[in-house]
Structure 1
Amino acid sequence: MRKNVLITGASSGLGEGMARILAAKGHNLALTARRVDRLEALKAELLEANPSIEVVVHELDVNDHDQVFAVFKKAIVDLGGLDRVIVNAGLGKGGRVGTGKFYANKQTAETNFIAALAQCEAAMEHFYERKAGHLVVISSMSAMRGMPSALTTYAATKAAVAMLAEGIRSDLIGRKGHDIKVTTLYPGYIASEMNEAVQKEARMMVDTETGCKALVKKIEAEVVDAAVPAWPWAPIGKVMKHAPLGVVRKMV
């Protein structure tokens, strides 16, 4: 069992949902986010429901890269090592490229990719040192193809983090004497604070708890990659990869 788990972006949405499920399964948790008041409230809730576990919280803006490394090191000390890191923090801002939304697109690119790179670096340094660990990167079904309009930059960043995880996984091939795994997850439409504005319109949306249970199931299986929930997103992903772009536009 990968006992000690760090989750970034844990103050809401998928991060918060996964924290609840992992706590109920007996995992010790290091929870990070910018909104430390929400983390403290979540910590109190988790400890009341699961008094046998440890929960630590740290304020973290993942775009402060020095802070990423510092907070990971604090969490390592707090829990006596990390067995799994879930790179979950992300941003969904954006606009159609060429419409004056560069600043929003830039924020999304920096948060979803550059900051994710910092998290992966910090996690893998620790895992290489221990010769054990599980890196989990949360991508998106939008990473399957180039997406239109406000999704363009977001989808590009999610494709980038998926390739980042695959490159890290490639480095582990042939390396002996370790127990390090890398998982890439591609969530479909799962209700969260990030997408609450479009939840009523989104097709095939599942509630947060259902989606997070599916995510945790794949995480604990330590799969290489997976669309989540598998139905209908695994077959939809195959269609998205090969369908004409005009068809893909109508699917989102």
Structure 2
Amino acid sequence: MPRSVRSNILITGASSGLGAGMAREFAARGRNLALCARRLDHLESLREELVAAHPGIRVAIHSLDVTDHDAVFRTFRSFASGLGQIDRVIVNAGSGKGASVGTGRFEANLETAETNFVAALAQCEAAMEIFREQNAGHLVVISSVAALRGARRAQTVYAATKAGLSTLAEGIRLDVADTPLRVSAIHPGYIRTEINAKVKGTPFIVDTETGCRALARAIERERASSYVPGWPWRVVAPLYRIAPASLLRRL
């Protein structure tokens, strides 16, 4: 399917942060949106904002906890039925909770593992079922540059889940390589959102609007794998892959 035909876009975790930012970017491009997240009131406010700014688009919303796997399948099907077709699904919902393994914070690490990988798998399954039936569609997973290496402290499980998500996307891509279906893994660097608003000294960080604009551009290119923003991460990522463990321990 030509990229210009991705008219109906489903985004999970769309009530704030990168999800809401991407919704604004695609709305400005005239795309219809299917937005879901746990906080329905935030989605309602976002829908009002988007429709007011771009009267020609349709914005459907639905409350969804992505760890409720049955609800993921129902919600995706409902969106597809309501819009007639889903052209692109952006698996964005995630969690950043965590602590050093073995320090008594198993529940936080488990929540991140279940949300970032198991729930992402459910979203990929639900999306790909629809795309296989349509014989058309673009699956996008929002991974992270953290997927490139292991990390310490609160990032240990987060990095592992993102590595798993990137590998999952690659496997799905290989599986549908000879079909019209497309699969992309997007690896954002450091983008300022309300989740990390108080974090200081983060290298190469960009504001939400800049980051989400770069995300939308990368998604539209439909490449197998992209780093966002392209500068400096296209240069930094290969170096990060080979950085010595002594350096990683200081991050």
* 1: CA distance, partners of 2:193 / 2:61: 21
Q: Partner amino acid for 2:193?
A: S
Partner of 2:97: 93
* Equivalent residue for 1:153, pick from 144, 152, 157: 157
* 1: CA distance, partners of 2:205 / 2:134: 39
Partner of 1:222: 222
CA positional deviation for 1:245 = 1.3
1:146-185, Cα deviation, whole Å (9 max, x unpaired): 0011100000000000000000001012x3xx42110101
Assess if the C-alpha contact under 8 Å between 1:215 and 1:228 holds in 2. Answer: yes
TM-score between the two structures when normalised by the length of structure 1:
0.96
- Secondary structure at the aligned position of 1:45 is classed as helix
* Equivalent residue for 1:18, pick from 22, 31, 44: 22
1:117-161, Cα deviation, whole Å (9 max, x unpaired): 000000000001111100000000111000011100000000000
Q: Which shows bigger deviation, 23-32 or 227-236?
A: 227-236
Partner of 2:245: 245
Question: CA-atom RMSD, angstroms?
Answer: 0.9
The unaligned stretches of length 5 or more in structure 2 are none
Q: Partner amino acid for 2:116?
A: N
- Secondary structure at the aligned position of 2:93 is classed as coil
CA positional deviation for 1:85 = 0.1
* 1: CA distance, partners of 2:91 / 2:192: 18
Q: Which shows bigger deviation, 178-187 or 206-215?
A: 178-187
TM-score between the two structures when normalised by the length of structure 2:
0.97
- Secondary structure at the aligned position of 2:103 is classed as coil
Partner of 2:190: 189
1:38 aligns with 2:42: yes
Partner of 2:135: 131
Q: Partner amino acid for 2:198?
A: A
Partner of 1:73: 77
Assess if the C-alpha contact under 8 Å between 1:31 and 1:39 holds in 2. Answer: yes
- Secondary structure at the aligned position of 1:82 is classed as coil
- Secondary structure at the aligned position of 2:183 is classed as strand
Q: Partner amino acid for 1:237?
A: A
Q: Which shows bigger deviation, 88-97 or 227-236?
A: 227-236
Give identity over the alignment, percent: 57
* 2: CA distance, partners of 1:47 / 1:243: 46
* 2: CA distance, partners of 1:157 / 1:197: 23
1:53 aligns with 2:57: yes
Structure 1 runs of 4+ aligned residues shifted over 6 Å read none
- Secondary structure at the aligned position of 2:198 is classed as helix
